[in-house]
Structures are given as C-alpha cells and as structure tokens.
Structure 1
C-alpha cells in the first residue's frame, strides 16, 4: 500500500526482498485463494496471473492504481521496481545516489498472528524456491 501511494506521486519506488512480504490470513485460506486465482486462467487466452513473488506484488499494486483508466496509472507502475532478494548495490547501510529508506515510523499495526510469506505462496503455485533462497 505504501508503494501504491508513493507511486502516485511520480517517484521511483524499489521494493526489495519480495519473497519475504506477508499476506495476512489463515494459511489454508490464503493458499487456496491464490491457487484459485492461478487456476482461473486459460493457458493461451488469459487472464494471466503471475507465480513469482515479485510479479505477484507488482500485479497487486497494479490493482490499486488506475492502470486502465489513464496514463498516470501506467506511468506510476512503470516507476515501481520489485526485486527478489537484495541487489548488491542496495545492500549495506549506505544507499547510492538519491535513494532513501522508506519511513516505517508511522506504522502502528501489530504483526498478524496468522500469515503466509509470498515465497511460500509461490512455492505452492509450483515455482522452485531455490530461485530466491540460493540453495
């Protein structure tokens, strides 16, 4: 949600460690919902639903933007980068150039008791987990 809000202001947003993002809810319900979305499509005609964690986040943010109504939504989505893992140029304490850390001071929600990580959802959809775990 922070990504969608910042994307509307025409700023570049980079989300790292997409596989560590969480989806709140009971594990069985979340996995069955994502499986139903994925099985909805026709192999050649669509709708095409992604399986990789970075693509799932980008598709979710696309649903929060006016993507089909006007070009500002498409431009905002173009400025969003979602990455699996941490790239070498963004690891460490210092960020290059005009990059800055996101402000998490205003987040007052507690960590949910029931949640599933996006990496687990992708594994359930058939993606090999070694693509982001490095094993």
Structure 2
C-alpha cells in the first residue's frame, strides 16, 4: 500500500461512535487505518449508565446456568474500539476484510511517532454538553487489568 492509502487517527478526546463511523467510511474507500491513543476516546453519558449499558450488551445467560456468560465482553480499550467498528461494518466477507485493515493501539507506538495524525472536528468532545466517560475508565470497570512493564 502506498503512503496515501494509510491514515493515522488520534483518538484523544474524540467521541467513539462518531469517530468509528468516519473510520468505516475510510475503510470503504480502501484505506488502511491506524488508531492511536484508543484509551483516550470518550463515550457520552453518565458513567454508571454507560458501564451498565455495556455490561448488559455483552451478558447472556443460559437456561440451566443464568449466571454463566455466553459472550465474552471486550475488556481492553483496543477491543472496545474494534468491536464498535465491527458493529458498523457490513456483515459480509468484504466487511471482515475491511476490519483487518484496522489497527488500534494504546498510546502511540514507536513506528508511528512523529507521523501526521488526523482528527475529526465533528467528533470532538467539545460538542458534548453533558457528562462523558473515557474508554480507559470503561475498560477498567469492565475488568481490564492494564499491566505496565516496569522500566529497566
């Protein structure tokens, strides 16, 4: 792929749903998309409502054991963002190929440092008037254990 076909998006203070819909449009154009700082994207709404909504969305019980979960919840910020994008893509083999053109990172990896990033103005957090929660806070509430390697 040429350099023009690669788009790097900085998710810092971007509304998750609006940003992901823009990413889907880029994927439909045939671009390869890298999303950095995924943990800093925001979801609108009060914290308790957002967390309960995500837990309800991914909790499925069975008839014999109603407490056993049937669907694994995405817990890391990477999986939360990718799952949001996956829900907006077509449910066809073409949609699956498009999903493979998305790479999501926590922070900025060394190979992408210093490169120009794209931000969507209509997905900025300034549009929100009410409360919001970051994807990192949501991930911690869902059980994500952020392990950080100690510096040597």
Fold-level match, TM-score > 0.5?
Answer: yes
- Give the match for residue 84 of structure 1: 106
Of the three residues 89, 107, 110, the one matched with 2:122 is 107
- Give the match for residue 72 of structure 1: 94
What does the per-residue CA deviation read over 1:71-119, in whole Å, with 9 as the maximum and x for residues that have no partner? 2211110101111111011122xx2xxxx53253x52763423100000
Structure 2 CA distance, aligned partners of 1:128 and 1:51? 9
Of the three residues 14, 27, 30, the one matched with 1:7 is 27
Structure 1 CA distance, aligned partners of 2:52 and 2:69? 23
Indicate conservation of the 8 Å contact 1:52/1:127, yes or no. Answer: yes
Indicate conservation of the 8 Å contact 1:119/1:129, yes or no. Answer: no
Structure 1 CA distance, aligned partners of 2:104 and 2:132? 21
Task: State the TM-score, normalized to the length of structure 2.
Answer: 0.70
Structure 1 CA distance, aligned partners of 2:70 and 2:30? 30
Query: CA offset at residue 45 of structure 1?
Result: 7.8
Indicate conservation of the 8 Å contact 2:43/2:134, yes or no. Answer: yes
Task: State the TM-score, normalized to the length of structure 1.
Answer: 0.78
Indicate conservation of the 8 Å contact 2:77/2:135, yes or no. Answer: yes
Structure 2 CA distance, aligned partners of 1:103 and 1:122? 23
RMSD: 2.7
Uncovered stretches (5+) of structure 2, i.e. residues with no partner: 1-20
Structure 2 CA distance, aligned partners of 1:108 and 1:53? 18
Query: CA offset at residue 49 of structure 1?
Result: 2.5
